[in-house]
Structure 1
């Protein structure tokens, strides 16, 4: 239930223009310390996961990998494996829903 709510929040954030999508764009925003939360698909390639998780860890941005790429893509309407949430409110709510 909360899993679906979190995906719905991602959709809202997308429509509000508060997401950055794709590996390169997300990593760039993490480096600029504008990203509040990173979501990486658990079925993404090992190199992609490592790169995104390492950058997130280095810049102290929470990184969550509980969703399948199909779930993330369906939530935002684009085929993506990596998503960065740029808004504190959306990031906080998504973390609450997923992590409890």
Structure 2
């Protein structure tokens, strides 16, 4: 199984475990409160959203993954979303290690 598929599966697992926050506003709040460990950002999201999320993530030192399109992200968690924040250390560490392998 390739890394992209593993990340996809982990996103779904994190969703079922209740360890994600979705939607621009909630994700922004989660980043600012320091709860966010990892972010999935759709690579086909609007430039405005991409800039906002990458700027926030850099400032708060949160890893951003832009591997997936909006359709793929939505399939992974079963909801239409452009941005997903992972709020669990375990999931985030595993996702980061998959991205750096």
TM-score band w.r.t. shorter chain: over 0.9
Distance, in Å, in 1 between the alignment partners of 2:67 and 2:38 is 13
Gaps of 5+ in 2: none
Residues 26-79 of structure 1 show CA distances to partners (whole Å, capped at 9, x for unaligned) of 011000000000110000000000000101111111111111111110000000
CA-atom RMSD in angstroms = 0.8
Partner of 1:14: 15
The number of residue pairs the alignment matches comes to 100
Distance, in Å, in 2 between the alignment partners of 1:12 and 1:37 is 14
Distance, in Å, in 1 between the alignment partners of 2:65 and 2:14 is 16
Partner of 1:84: 85
Partner of 2:95: 94
Distance, in Å, in 1 between the alignment partners of 2:46 and 2:69 is 12
Relative to the length of structure 2, the TM-score reads: 0.95
Gaps of 5+ in 1: none
Distance, in Å, in 1 between the alignment partners of 2:64 and 2:48 is 15
